[in-house]
Amino acid sequence: MKKILCLILICIFLVGCSDDISDENREPQEEITYTYEDVDATITYIDMQKWFAICPRWEWEIEVEYDGMTYEEDDYASGGMNGPSFADSREGDSIRVEITNKYVNGELVDRYISEIR
C-alpha cells in the first residue's frame, strides 16, 4: 500500500514539474526602463511651519513647477538633522528636484517630478 501511494505521489510531482509552455504562445513582454535627472524647479507655493518641542519640528506644504510639470508635497519632519532642504525658501526661489523619465521599449511614455532633493 505504501509503495502504491509513493508511486502516485511521485507521478503527481513529475507531472507538475513538466515544462509545457511553448515560446510560440507567449506574447512579447514590454521592456520598461527609467532614467533620472536633477534639475532646478521653481517654488510656486510654500507654507512652512517650524517649532521646537524637545527637538525641532517642521510641517510643510510645497508646490514646485518645472517645464509644465507640477509636484505637490504635504509632509512633516522632526529632529535636529531632519529639516527639509527648502526650510528657508520662499515662493519664486529655485529648488533642486528629480525628474523621472519612463520608457517602454525605448519610447518615452511618461515624465514627472518624483521628489525634491
Residue bearing the bigger pLDDT, 58 or 10: 58
Half-sphere CA count of 109, side-chain side, radius 13 A:
11
DSSP state of 28: P
Task: Please write down the long-range contacts of 68-73, taking CB distance under 8 Å and 24 or more positions apart.
Answer: 69/99, 69/111, 69/112, 69/113, 70/44, 70/113, 71/41, 71/97, 71/112, 71/113, 71/114, 71/115, 71/116, 73/116
State how far the Cα of 17 lies from the Cα of 78, in Å rounded to an integer: 54
**Residue 10 banded pLDDT, cuts 50, 70, 90:** confident
Among 4-8, 44-48, 81-85, 106-110, the least confident range = 4-8
State how far the Cα of 99 lies from the Cα of 64, in Å rounded to an integer: 12
Residue bearing the bigger pLDDT, 82 or 32: 32
